[in-house]
């Protein structure tokens, strides 16, 4: 009996220790799960989700801030890195039918509605003004919106009566030295970057950092018999294919303000294709400049019908002949035509002769009553 009693006590003791061990293990599992949940909470919203909200905010902003105005964004959210949020910058010009204060108030309300529907809140603890808005998901900052109010150019006495000339430099992305030569110029040039070239991303980022405007040089099919681009818009593509291709190329050259066509004499003459493209550009809040590589182009008319801010090259190409004296002549013609037309868009390329001609001739612009501007300032 004593043997059985001892064995029973030993078994009971073992069961007790097993129970304690199980309880400790359960508590450890609960703590570990809580720790993991706490650790993972900052990543509970993915960058793709934040970027989607950003696009909704851009659409909402575009519905409020029509001409004159301008909207830009940088998609930099990374929940694992402090300070990395998506940025939106909205310029509200004077001269609208409403006061700037009314436009800013409507803009803020629209942004707040998008934020609320997406599970974000405006940060009331940050040092904010009516022109600086910060949004977050729980404790995690996701967006910063800067609203800039300014007078229209026509209201500036020193600029009154000036014609405007926007110069777009195409085909950037391969030659870093050419890009550096452009960056050294003290003029508001618009840089059009081809996607998926060795230096496309770094040139685009550096151009923005130095205050230049960056647009996507969107490859389109040409009528000439030549090697096509690996990815380009072609007649016959479906709406889904156009949307997917443009979205991919915008990711390859991030944070652009607009688009112009690379080649494209066949694509820009195809009304169906252009009518498929323009809603995509409108969705991304991008302007469009028709490079006019063919007289048969319908791209500008299509953009206007779909409400895409747009313009077109309305002076000859600067460097069809890439020799210094020839480019000198074309630049002077562009300045003259800008005066006659009260505004012009010129297109050149980063050839050595073109860059030298810009350095030689652009100092003459102001004396001729021509103001150099970004492409975004001459589209409508």
- pTM of the entire predicted model: 0.64
- Please tell me whether residues 170 and 92 are part of one structural domain: no
Instruction: Give Dmax (Cα) for the chain.
Output: 119
Mean pLDDT of 32-57: 70
The CA angle 165-168-164, to the nearest 5 degrees, is 10
- Please state the three-class secondary structure of 212-237 as a single string: CEEEEEEEECCCCCCCCCCCCECCCC
Q: Which residue has the higher pLDDT, 110 or 1?
A: 110
Burial 316-339 (b: 16+ CB within 10 A, else e): ebbbeeeebebbbbbbeebbebbb
Rounded to the nearest integer, the mean pLDDT of the chain is 84
290 pairs with which residues across the strands? 312
Q: 146-150, 206-210, 301-305 — which is least confidently predicted?
A: 146-150
Tokens found for residue 139: 């404790």
CA dihedral 66, 69, 74, 78 (to 10 degrees): -60
pLDDT of residue 72: 78
Same domain, 167 and 270: yes
Q: What is the pLDDT at residue 136?
A: 93
303 burial (CB, 10 Å; 0-12 / 13-18 / 19+) is buried
The encoded tokens of residue 169 equal: 């430099």
pLDDT value of position 131: 76
Q: Let me know if residue 24 belongs to a domain.
A: no
Q: Check whether residue 80 and residue 178 sit in a common domain.
A: no
pLDDT band for position 68 (cuts 50, 70, 90):
very low
Percent of the chain exceeding pLDDT 90 equals: 58
Instruction: State yes or no: pLDDT of 119 exceeds 90.
Output: yes
The reported pLDDT for the residue numbered 347 is 98
Q: What would the pLDDT profile of 266-323 be if each residue is shown by its tens digit?
A: 999 999 999 999 999 999 989 999 999 999 999 999 999 999 999 999 999 999 999 9
Is 21 part of a structural domain of the chain? no
Does one domain contain both 123 and 165? no
User: Which of the 8 DSSP states describes residue 153?
Assistant: G
Res. 38: pLDDT tops 50:
no
Section 238-251 average pLDDT: 95
Specify if 292 maps to a domain. Answer: yes
Residue 34 resides in a domain: no
Pair 285, 71: CB distance under 8 Å: yes
Q: Which of 138-142, 152-156, 186-190, 213-217 has the lowest mean pLDDT?
A: 152-156
In the chain, the percentage of residues whose pLDDT exceeds 70 is: 80
In this structure, the answer to whether residues 207 and 76 fall within a common structural domain is no
| Structure tokens, 144 | 């910063």
CATH code for the domain in which residue 122 is found: 3.30.460.10
pLDDT mean over 131-158: 74
Q: What is the pLDDT of residue 80?
A: 84
Structural domain ending residue among the three candidates 131, 150, 169: 150
Q: At residue 27, does pLDDT exceed 90?
A: no
Q: 306 and 193 in one domain?
A: yes
Tell which residue, 275, 23, 362, 317, has the closest CA to residue 168: 317
Annotate 160-213 with DSSP letters as a single string: TT-EEEEEEEEEETS-HHHHHHHHTS-S-PEEEE-TTSTTHHHHHHHHHHTT-E
Distance separating alpha carbons of residues 60 and 11, to the nearest angstrom: 71
CA 228 to chain centre: 26
Whether residue 253 is contained in a domain is answered as: yes
User: Is the pLDDT reported for residue 55 higher than 80?
Assistant: yes
Give domain status of residue 206, yes or no: yes
Identify the band that residue 141 occupies on the pLDDT scale cut at 50, 70 and 90. Answer: very high
* pLDDT > 70? residue 76: yes
Indicate which CATH number applies to the domain containing 174: 3.20.20.370
Tell me the H-state helices in 41-164.
47-64, 100-117
Structural domain tally of the chain?
Answer: 2
pLDDT at 161 over 60: no
Return the SS3 of 370.
Answer: strand
pLDDT at res. 225: 59
Q: What integer is the mean pLDDT of 245-256?
A: 92
Closest CA to 57 of 107, 102, 105: 107
Structural domain ending residue among the three candidates 116, 150, 184? 150
pLDDT tens by residue, 81-112:
877 899 888 878 655 456 777 888 888 999 99
Grouping H, G, I as helix, E, B as strand and the rest as coil, residue 291 is coil
Residues 337 and 195 in one domain: yes
Asked if residues 90 and 108 have their Cβ atoms less than 8 Å apart, the reply is no
Last residue of a domain, one of 91, 117, 150: 150
DSSP label of 363 = G
Query: Looking at the structure, do residues 54 and 170 belong to the same domain, yes or no?
Result: no
Does any domain span residue 10?
no
Q: Which of 11-20, 46-55, 124-133 has the lowest mean pLDDT?
A: 11-20
Do 190 and 227 share a structural domain?
yes
* Lowest-pLDDT choice from 138-147, 223-232, 241-250, 358-367: 223-232
Alpha carbons 281 and 261: distance in angstroms, whole number: 12
Decide if 14 is inside a domain: no
Q: How far apart are CA 298 and CA 110, in angstroms?
A: 34
Q: Any idea what DSSP says for residue 157?
A: T
Do residues 206 and 227 both lie within one domain?
Answer: yes
Residue 149 predicted with pLDDT over 90: no
| Domain ranges, residue 189 | 161-377
pLDDT at 11 over 60: no
Is residue 152 scored above 70 in pLDDT? Answer: no
Question: How far is CA 215 from its chain centroid?
Answer: 8
In 3D space, the residue among 372, 306, 318, 376 whose CA is nearest the CA of residue 347 turns out to be 318
Instruction: Enumerate the β-bridge partners of residue 134.
Output: 144
Q: Report the distance separating Cα 146 and Cα 129, nearest Å.
A: 10
Between CA 252 and CA 102 the distance in angstroms is: 37
User: Are 326 and 233 within one domain?
Assistant: yes
**Distance between CA atoms of 13 and 86, rounded to whole angstroms?**
60
Residues 214 and 355 in one domain: yes
């Amino acid at each position: 009996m004593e043997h059985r009693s001892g064995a029973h006590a030993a078994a009971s003791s073992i069961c007790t220790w097993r129970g304690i061990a199980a309880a400790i293990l359960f508590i450890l599992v609960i703590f570990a799960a809580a720790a993991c949940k706490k650790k993972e909470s900052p990543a509970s919203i993915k960058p793709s989700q934040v970027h989607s909200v950003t696009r909704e905010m851009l659409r909402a902003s575009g519905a409020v801030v029509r001409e004159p105005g301008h909207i830009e964004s940088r998609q930099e959210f990374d929940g694992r890195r402090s300070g990395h949020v998506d940025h939106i910058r909205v310029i509200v010009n004077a001269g609208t039918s409403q006061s700037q204060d009314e436009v800013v108030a409507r803009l803020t309300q629209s942004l707040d509605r998008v934020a609320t529907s997406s599970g974000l809140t405006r940060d009331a603890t940050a040092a904010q003004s009516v022109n600086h808005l910060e949004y977050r998901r729980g404790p995690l900052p996701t967006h910063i919106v800067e609203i800039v109010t300014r007078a229209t150019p026509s209201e500036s006495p020193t600029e009154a009566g000036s014609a405007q000339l926007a110069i777009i430099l195409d085909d950037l992305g391969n030659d870093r030295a050419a890009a550096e030569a452009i960056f050294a110029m003290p003029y508001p040039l618009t840089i059009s970057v081809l996607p998926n070239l060795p230096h496309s991303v770094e040139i685009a980022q550096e151009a923005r950092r130095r205050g230049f405007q960056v647009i996507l040089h969107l490859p389109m099919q040409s009528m000439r018999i030549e090697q096509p681009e690996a990815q380009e818009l072609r007649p016959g593509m479906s709406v889904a294919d156009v949307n997917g291709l443009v979205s991919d190329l915008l990711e390859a050259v991030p944070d652009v303000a607009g688009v112009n066509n690379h080649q494209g004499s066949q694509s820009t003459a195809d009304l169906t294709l252009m009518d498929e493209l323009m809603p995509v550009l409108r969705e991304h809040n991008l302007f469009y400049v028709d490079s006019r590589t063919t007289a048969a182009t319908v791209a500008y008319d299509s953009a206007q019908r779909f409400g895409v801010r747009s313009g077109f090259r309305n002076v000859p190409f600067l460097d069809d002949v890439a020799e210094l004296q020839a480019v000198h002549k074309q630049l002077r013609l562009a300045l003259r035509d800008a005066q006659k037309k009260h505004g012009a868009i010129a297109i050149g390329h980063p050839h050595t002769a073109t860059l030298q001609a810009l350095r030689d001739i652009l100092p003459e612009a102001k004396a001729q009553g021509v103001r150099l501007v970004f492409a975004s300032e001459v589209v409508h």
